[in-house]
Structure 1
Amino acid sequence: MDLSELERDNTGRCRLSSPVPAVCLKEPCVLGVDEAGRGPVLGPMVYAICYCPLSRLADLEALKVADSKTLTENERERLFAKMEEDGDFVGWALDILSPNLISTSMLGRVKYNLNSLSHDTAAGLIRYALDQNVNVTQVSCWVTALWSPSDKRAFKKLKLASDAVTITSVSLDPKTKAWLRKHVDPVFGFPQFVRFSWSTAQAILEKEAEHVTWEDSEAEEDPERPGKITSYFSQGLQTCRPQAPHRYFQERGLEAASSL
């Protein structure tokens, strides 16, 4: 998926990268990795890598790089533009994970939690650099913090910014919670811009949206369901009660045959 597709449906992920400088294929390089947008209830999570030869690290530090949280948006844009100009020795790559992808991963039948998703995304970017034959000899946590997109910049890049959303979009921010209440649909829930697996979003869904009874809800509350397996090893011998056939057989009108 490319960035334009992510802008349209906001359900997947996309990777963006610069050309690999020729010098990075030959000289030993240091690679930095960082993330932005891990905590907010709105918008994507972005992981980034940046790399350059160890021999040119002083040139990169001469740009007066700093943690992105200490820089203004204009300063971040200026530094990123400068790094683009220095593309003969600096390379980078981004992996943008949409809110919908994050939530469906966390709420799937097989859970894929945020820590695992973050770990695999960072590792995937490092593997990407190696696959591009970048001569990585050192991995660090420097550099990308200076330019990796902040939450606000990620919103702007994906054309999803809203005046009602603050720059952090953290779950407890009053304006963010007000935006969530305003845009929740009683039947369909939130737009895909929202990480609906976050507790803040779930609480608003429970209060503002219609109640949903899932197909398995009644089965989970069925008193005829057998108890825990440990119950068979306590209180002496117990009379086994007949169990209803599995739902699969009930729905299809299938019964066990004792004779032909």
Structure 2
Amino acid sequence: MELETSESQQPDLDLETPPSPSDIFIAPSISRGQILKGLSYSYFSPLPTILQQNSSAESSEPQKCVLGIDEAGRGPVLGPMVYATFYLPTELHESLLAEKYHFNDSKVLTPETRSSLMRTLCTTETDLYASCGWAAKLLSARDISADMLAPTPYNLNAQALDATVELISGVMERGVDLEHVYIDTVGQPEAYQRKLEKFFPGVRITVAKKADRDYPVVSAASVVAKVTRDAALEVCWEAYAEQPADGNAVEKEKDKGADKGWGSGYPSDARSINWLKANMDPIFGWGTETRFSWGPAKDMLEGKGAPAGADWPVDDDEDTMKMTDFLVSRGEGSNQRDELANWYGTQVTEEIF
């Protein structure tokens, strides 16, 4: 099952846990309003200066580019899943990303290093900004769960494929001439690659496990995805910290366990599970930051430790009721009078005529 595959991953929880708020870089891909509403959305950076100049030159050939795609937050019960893409001229792939800036799989970089690289990418005076473009697709926890629990389930693999296609298409629509696309995957690379080749027949596509380690452009995409997810989690966390209990935000944080935070958001993280237990509304569960379709959340809501539940009456298939059953009381001691007549004022009798 897709859910079991996602939740069974065992990440390094320390590296997956967002850094302290002061160390989180809030990239332009963060839309606070949309995140708090539980909306999924996409962000595309401006076209790199080097590609803008190339497209404006009448005699020049389109500059060939490579593009990488990776994700962050596939398995957590808290926060969005973020797919990110990163692209730049093919000739700069190794020299700029690997040799100069030392991009690597975001899971082996410290939070401080990830934020520093992302900040450089978003600083207009740097060669990264001038040469590289990027984009991010945030799939909210609310939308992920709603789609997976729909009558016709829209599973996580299908959501991931559509996000990937949207990002590649969006870059191409901006006039970028893609020569080669590299994609990291947790599933079967061959099947995934064949699907994408049908969408983009004119582009060479390589889908591989550990692509975020082997191809610098995918490493850069993994940094974009992870920094964006960390910032999105911080926005979700602030929403809880900003809601005071009895006018005292400090006491609310203390009551909710805010001094410990909610950790990485993964089901294997005790901090995340403890936060879910401490903050669960017995009827409505949690807010838009929680994936209701994930096992731990479902267990808490559907009976394993849930303090409250709701039983809905089952419709009777036999049509044995008469219209008068709704109008006349037949209970013991009843005077058999029409109840509707007593709802407003005094019952009408023959004496008034």
Aligning the two structures, in what range does the TM-score lie when normalised by the shorter sequence?
A: 0.7 to 0.9
Residue in structure 2 matched with residue 110 of structure 1 by the alignment = 152
Aligned to 1:140: 182
Moved over 6 A (4+): none
Say if 2:241 is the partner of 1:205.
no
Query: Is contact 1:31–1:49 with CA below 8 Å preserved after alignment?
Result: yes
Conserved 8 A contact 2:136-2:224? no
Deviations 1:82-133 (A, max 9, x none): 2233221100001111111111111112211111111111111111101111
Which residue of structure 2 lines up, in the alignment, with residue 49 of structure 1? 85
Q: Is the 8 A contact 2:42 2:136 kept in 1?
A: yes
List per-residue Cα deviations over 1:148-175 (Å, max 9, x = no partner): 225544312x352654211x22113222
The reply to whether residue 120 of structure 1 matches residue 162 of structure 2 is: yes
Q: Which residue of 1 aligns with 2:232?
A: 154
TM-score by length of 1: 0.76
Q: Secondary structure at the match of 1:138?
A: strand
Q: Specify the alignment match of 1:89 in structure 2.
A: 131
2:44 aligned residue (3, 17, 20): 17
Are 1:176 and 2:176 counterparts? no
Greater Cα offset, 191-200 or 76-85: 76-85
Aligned equivalent of 1:4, options 24, 27, 32: 32
Whole-angstrom distance in 1 between the partners of 2:181 and 2:78: 30
Gap regions ≥5 residues in structure 1: 225-243, 246-260
Structure-2 separation of matches of 1:77 and 1:187: 38
- Rg bigger for which structure? 2
Distance 1:211 1:181, change over 3 A: same
1:160 partner letter: W
Q: Which moved more, 1:45-54 or 1:132-141?
A: 132-141
% of aligned pairs identical?
31
* Counterpart check, 1:164 vs 2:200: no
> Structure 1 residues 210, 52: closer, same or farther in 2, change over 3 A?
same
For structure 2, which runs of at least 5 residues remain unmatched after alignment? 1-29, 56-61, 184-217, 239-257, 320-353
What is the CA-CA distance between 1:5 and the residue it aligns to? 1.9
The DSSP-based 3-state class of the residue aligned with 2:286 is: coil
Matched pairs, number:
219
Higher helix fraction (1 or 2): 2
Is 1:72 equivalent to 2:110 in the alignment? yes
> Residue in 1 aligned with 2:187?
none
Question: What is the RMSD of the two structures over their aligned residues, measured on CA atoms?
Answer: 2.4
Q: Shift of residue 42 of structure 1?
A: 0.4
SS of corresponding position for 1:40: coil
Alpha-carbon separation, structure 2, partners of 1:38 and 1:214: 34
Matched-pair contact (CA < 8 Å) for 2:36–2:236: no
- The one-letter amino acid of 1:49's match is T
Q: 1:36-79: per-residue Cα shift (whole Å, max 9, x none)?
A: 00100001111100000001112122211111111111101111
Shift of residue 214 of structure 1?
A: 4.4
Q: Which amino acid aligns with 2:306?
A: E
- C-alpha separation in 2, matches of 1:122 and 1:160: 27
**How many Å separate the matches in 2 of 1:153 and 1:12?**
15
What SS does the aligned partner of 1:46 have? strand
Is 1:191 paired with 2:290?
A: no
In 2, Cα distance between the equivalents of 1:209 and 1:137?
A: 56
Distance 1:176 1:83 in 2: 31
What letter is aligned with 1:33? I
- The answer (yes or no) to whether the contact 2:87–2:134 under 8 Å persists in 1 is yes
SS, match of residue 148 in structure 1: helix
Aligned partner of 1:233 in structure 2 is: none
